[in-house]
Amino acid sequence: MIKRKLDRYVQVLNNIDDDQDKYLWIMDFGKNSKPMEDENRTRYFEVAGCQSQTWLVPHFIDDKIYFTADSAALISKGMVCIIADVYSGSTAQDINDFDQREFEKMNLNTLLTPGRNNGVNSMLKKIKYYATE
């Protein structure tokens, strides 16, 4: 399920020719994502290593984990919301078994600044952290 969701985003981004348009699509995705409850914007849910304040909140329902996400910057919000969507509804085992290098198919290293790429890696680490709790 994780791979299928990720591949959907890869396909969307690959169908956009211009890098600036990809950047705008990611920001629009973040703008249009469900807002996060203010009480979840805490240090505990903050993603360390992001250039702007970014939060990733797990919700454990039965044996699955769902995520909500937000960020003070639109590009970070778009990326963290994509990542949250890709992993939402998965089991901890599925998350731990998934090879996060699959995200390289999004070609973010050419689209985002090195600082933003580090932030994405921090978001992915936070997902793995929640899956091992």
State yes or no: is 81 an active-site residue: no
User: What angle, 0 to 180 degrees and rounded to 10, lies between the N-to-C axes of helices 114-132 and 74-87?
Assistant: 30
Out of 36, 50, 82, 124, which one is annotated catalytic? Answer: 50
Nearest alpha carbon to residue 78 among 124, 123, 33: 33
66 beta partners: 59
* Helix (H/G/I), strand (E/B), else coil: 49: coil
Q: Give catalytic residue positions.
A: 50
